[in-house]
Amino acid sequence: MNDDTAVVKIARTKTPGYDLEQMATYQVPFSAGWSVLDALNYIYTNHDGTLIHPFYCRSGFCTGCLVELNGKKVLACKTPMLKEMTIRPAEEEDVVRDLLETGHDLLPK
Amino acid sequence: MTNSIIRQCDVLVIGSGGAGLMAAIYAARQGGHVILLEKGAYGRSGCTILGGYSCNAAFGNVDVNDNPRVHAEDTLRAGQYINAPDLVEIFVQEAPQRVLELAEFGVPFDRKDGRLDQGLMPGNSYPRACYSDFQTGRMMMAGMRREVRKYSNITIYEGEIVTHLLQDGNQVVGARSVRWSDSQPCTFLAGAVVLATGGSAQLYERSTVSIDNTGDGMVLALEAGATLKDLEFVQFLPFVMCYPHLLGLNPGTPEGFRFVDVRLTNNKGEEFAEQAFPKWRNKATRDVLAQMLYQEIRAGRASPNGGLYLSVAHNPEQEIRENLSAFFLPLLKQGVDLRKDSVEVAPAAHYHMGGIQIDTNGWTGVPGLFAAGEVTAGVHGANRLAGNALSEILVFGARAGKAAAEYSNIVHAAKAQSQQGYKKLPEWRVDPQGLRPATFKTRLQHLMWNHCGIIRHQEGLEQAMQALAQLRYEAETILAISSPITVYNREILDLLEAKSMIILAQVIVASAMVRKESRGAHYRSDFPDMNDEGYKANVLVVRQGDGWEIELSPIRMQSQQRKNDNE
């Protein structure tokens, strides 16, 4: 693996009418200043338009980008990207597609 | 695709930020059925949650000299006197009541001696910004969502991407949408519609706003026959973080560094602002600062990351810790030590002053169509006074919701099949080799940033017009999604947004060409001065066939008209 490349594995869901790998692997340029969200957006923009990962405010307010990164729940926008990342939805049972879920609500009540 | 999903209601509110929630609450209080549509996720989408600090209301709690009159004067001065005076009047009068109402919803505004505390924001004569910690917008949204839950007559649908409004003649009677979860078209029939879809800063390469801020409502309104006003006025914040990349902090964070003395240098270590504008710290407005930074960057004196260096390290440590308490520790956690490190900043699009023309009840002039919040124009004129956005959405969200409900009581429920546009389906092509929506958006944002951003001139605007015409052609020919997935396909959302953004971009550029002067946030390097003789006026855009017509409407003639109407 190249020094400035990160390997990102993402858990995908079965999608009607379309054949997706269950665990897809992507290579992304590594940048110390980038967040996990930046890496996901890079994949969507440059590699794979079928990837669904939710995010709205990009600033840690909406909590929409909650994922499980290497076994730990994190907000993708608040977490620096790593050289090796395995990304899964935060709550498997609430998944509607890829990393998009319904259900959890971390906003102030 | 089928036309099977049809829902009926009295008031349809599109957009679930602060203006949309207030509209839904006030419409629901009239007793009818309210449907609230959100294209993203309820409670997460929209920009209100990003409102960090100030919600203006002239209580005079901290300085007794403040009152609605002074608030109106400050708002008009910031707006360079092309604001709609009637909207400003209503806004300053009702902002205190609406803020108190939000406190009743349980929003924990900070208090001093039992009364709401108020902070001083730039451009304001007195401290009048109510706040809740450093997450005022988020707390306000939480309060409004609690209130929404009390009304069983409000139904919320998420992931509904509205593609056009339904009309019976010119009367708006509902909307058509694509349901993101399965790409099915849905029809919502309503006695009245309120657009609360927010601003459009996503049209620019660099912005502080949430991903959904793509100006959809302005295009929906334009196509339905409403008037768009003063679209050339886009507010750019000067000090937006560009490096290090902030993780989970508002990119506008460095704006707050002005609570202590700041040093601003270019890549040669020169304090360039000092030379151009010696008193810039206290005197320069946001638009002037944004222009200074932009010029410095264009002149090739930016950091390798494209920004300028902002430092507070020369201040005593205690002042940094106390006055910047909201940023010091969060930044330290990310490896930025304000006691010794500088950060790199560059301007970014933040707010759209222009939008749909409305009256004091949020009525657009098209029967059945109302609007509130950032999607509208008038309160802010040529530039927005800091702190006015969060209270504007409360005042006009409430007014538009109430007026829409009253209107829906007097019209009959429409029948789906008879409406214009009912059979019209949104279209997208599937082509793995096509022009991808994400690429299209990036190109559009780049164009707008370079030619219709912080500094504009005729030649650049003409270039932009040509390039946008080409892009619009591509939108109609090669723009395509790369897979046939119909379940939660982000490319469908991006494509529908892109098709709307290209229209709005063209109208913004056309408006910027008409205003051959510099005023507020609109700076023309070929016409650097304000010209009250020719341009103390609003730029109005109305649809005309497949195109549009632009007109300059002088303020003095509008006030003459009002006078005549009153006689």
Low-confidence residues in chain A, pLDDT < 70: 1-2, 16-17, 103-109
A80 touches chain B (CB under 8 A): yes
The whole-angstrom separation of Cα B104 and Cα B224 is 37
Render pLDDT for B502-519 as a digit per residue (tens, 0 to 9).
999 999 999 999 999 999
Which residues of A are less than 8 Å from B490 in CB distance? 44, 49, 51-52
Contact B32, B409 (CB under 8 A): yes
CB B246 within 8 A of CB B253: yes
Does B335 contact chain A (CB < 8 Å)? no
How far apart, in whole angstroms, are the C-alpha atoms of residue A98 and residue A82?
20
Which chain B positions have a beta carbon within 8 Å of A38's beta carbon?
245
B122 by Cβ neighbours in 10 Å (0-12 / 13-18 / 19+) ranks as middle
Q: What is the pLDDT of residue B3?
A: 55
pLDDT, residue B121, reads 87
Residues in chain A with CB shorter than 8 Å from the CB of B479 are none
ipTM exceeding cut-off 0.90 for this assembly? yes
* Any A CB within 8 A of B349 CB: no
Q: Would you tell me which residues 14-43 of chain A have a C-beta closer than 8 angstroms to some C-beta of chain B? A: 15-18, 33-35, 38
Q: Does B490 touch chain A (CB under 8 A)?
A: yes
Say yes or no for a CB contact (<8 Å) between B45 and A56.
yes
3-state DSSP assignment of residue B455: coil
pLDDT for A108 equals 56
Model confidence over B286-296: pLDDT tens digits? 888 899 999 99
Q: Tell me whether B489 touches chain A (CB under 8 Å).
A: yes
The stretch B42-56 carries a mean pLDDT of 91
Burial class (CB in 10 A: 0-12, 13-18, 19+), B331: buried
Q: Give CA–CA dist B191/B175, Å, rounded.
A: 11
Rounded to two decimals, the pTM is 0.95
Stretch B207-220: mean pLDDT:
96
> For position B414, what pLDDT does the model report?
65
Measured CA to CA, the distance from residue B159 to residue B40 in angstroms comes to 5
Grouping H, G, I as helix, E, B as strand and the rest as coil, residue B484 is coil
Which residue of A17, A59, A61 is in closest CB contact with B485? A17
Tell me whether B40 touches chain A (CB under 8 Å).
yes
Question: Using one digit for the tens of pLDDT, what is the confidence trace for B403-413?
Answer: 999 999 887 66
CA–CA dist B102, B48 (Å, integer): 14
Least confident of B140-149, B205-214, B274-283: B274-283
- Measure the CA–CA gap between A86 and A23, rounded to whole angstroms: 9
pLDDT tens column, B328-342 = 888 888 788 999 999
Whether the per-residue pLDDT at B561 is higher than 90: the answer is no
Give the alpha-carbon dihedral of B334, B337, B342, B345, to 10 degrees: 30
Element at B550 (helix H, strand E): strand B547-554
Give the pLDDT confidence of B351-405 residue by residue, as tens digits: 999 999 999 999 999 999 999 999 999 999 999 999 999 999 999 999 999 999 9
- Asked whether B348 and B207 are in contact (CB, 8 A), the reply is yes
CA distances in angstroms from B84 to B224, B256, B382, B440, listed in the order given? 22, 30, 11, 35
Give how far B264 is from chain A: nearest CA, Å. Answer: 22
DSSP type of residue B445? H
Most distant CA atoms of chain A, gap in Å:
45
**B1 pLDDT tier (thresholds 50, 70, 90):** very low
Residue B380 distance to chain A (closest CA, Å): 24
CB-based contact A60 B483, cutoff 8 Å:
no
Task: Point out the residue among B47, B142, B249 whose CB comes nearest to the CB of A60.
Answer: B249
**What average pLDDT does the segment B530-543 reach?**
97
Nearest CA in chain A to B146: A109
Query: Rg of the Cα trace of chain A?
Result: 13
What phi and psi, each to the nearest 5 degrees, are found at residue B43? 90, -15
CA distance B96 to chain A (A): 24
Q: Is B41's CB within 8 Å of A63's CB?
A: no
Average pLDDT over residues B297-320: 92
Residues of B in contact with A59 (CB under 8 A): 50, 210, 246, 248-251
CB-CB under 8 Å, A55 with B142:
no
Q: Could you report the per-residue pLDDT of A23-51, keeping only the tens digit for each?
A: 999 999 998 778 999 999 999 999 999 99
Using CA atoms, how far apart are residues B542 and B172, in angstroms rounded to an integer? Answer: 16
**CB of B56 within 8 A of CB of B357?**
no
Nearest CA in chain A to B482: A49
